[in-house]
Amino acid sequence: MTENKPVPENDNVPEETLTKEQLEAAADALLDEEAGDDDLGMDTYEELATENADLKDRVLRAMAETENLRKRAEREKAEATLYAATNFARDLLSVSDSMAKALEMMPDDARKTADEATRNLIEGIELTRRELLNSFQKHGIAEVNPLDEKFDPHFHQAMFEVPGTDKPNGTVVQVVQTGFKIGERVLRPAMVGVAKQAAPAEPAEEDKSKAKKK
């Protein structure tokens, strides 16, 4: 190593007047000072490493929480947009019901024998109702017609029971009025009749006595 030479003590000496040896001496002195800081020992490095790992963990947790908040905000915004039209859609259901009842008033046989003007009127009502249902579907509103499906108390309202059918208990065998749902929420439950099988008849007292004797 180059022999250390004293650096001029005059701070006012411009840097360009220092010799190469003096600059090397100043660099060596700076390195020696930094090396002296290394004498803090392994404990200090371990503390710094632990602190660094802790800071990294906190940053990752903060990032994860921020991402969760962002997803939650997007989900709430989407739900707010979807369900904003709930009251308006519920009011329009009566319009759909009225058109459905008007179509039911004209049986197929009567439609075949009706004059052209009446047939055109019926076709216009059918087209209008289809367009209304399509508009509902575009906004996440779906008709619920659960015929032959398992009764679901979340989306169906049982109006009566129908005994003596070949359907399992709890099967919807008649739909009095279709329901509607918006997203995963019920807008109006479907009014239905549910199958109910008769309970098996108990054996007569004489048969019970014979069974006991056996």
95-140 pLDDT, tens digit per residue, is: 888 888 888 888 888 888 888 888 899 999 999 999 998 988 888 8
Every domain of the chain and the residues it spans: 85-139, 141-200
Pick the CATH number of 141-200 from 2.30.22.10, 1.10.150.650, 2.30.30.180, 1.10.3720.10: 2.30.22.10
Distance of CA 96 to the CA centre of its chain: 29
Q: CB within 8 A of 154, min separation 6: which ones?
A: 186
CA neighbor of 157 nearest in space, from 182, 186, 133: 186
For position 32, what pLDDT does the model report? 59
As a whole number of angstroms, the distance between CA 154 and CA 172 comes to: 14
- DSSP for residue 199: P
Q: Which residue has the tokens 């019920």?
A: 186
37-46, 52-61, 135-144: least confidently modelled range: 37-46
For position 194, what pLDDT does the model report? 94
Q: CB within 8 A of 151, min separation 6: which ones?
A: 158, 170, 171, 172, 192, 194
Comparison of pLDDT for 201 and 50, the residue scoring more: 50
Query: In this structure, what token pair is assigned to residue 192?
Result: 């239905």
- DSSP for residue 56: H
How many Cβ atoms are within 10 Å of 210's Cβ, its own excluded?
11
Q: CB within 8 A of 152, min separation 6: which ones?
A: 146
Instruction: Please write down the long-range contacts of 31-35, taking CB distance under 8 Å and 24 or more positions apart.
Output: none
As a whole number of angstroms, the distance between CA 92 and CA 156 comes to: 19
pLDDT tens digits, 13-42: 444 455 656 656 666 665 555 555 555 556
Contact of 155 with 189, CB cutoff 8 Å: yes
How many Cβ atoms are within 10 Å of 141's Cβ, its own excluded?
21
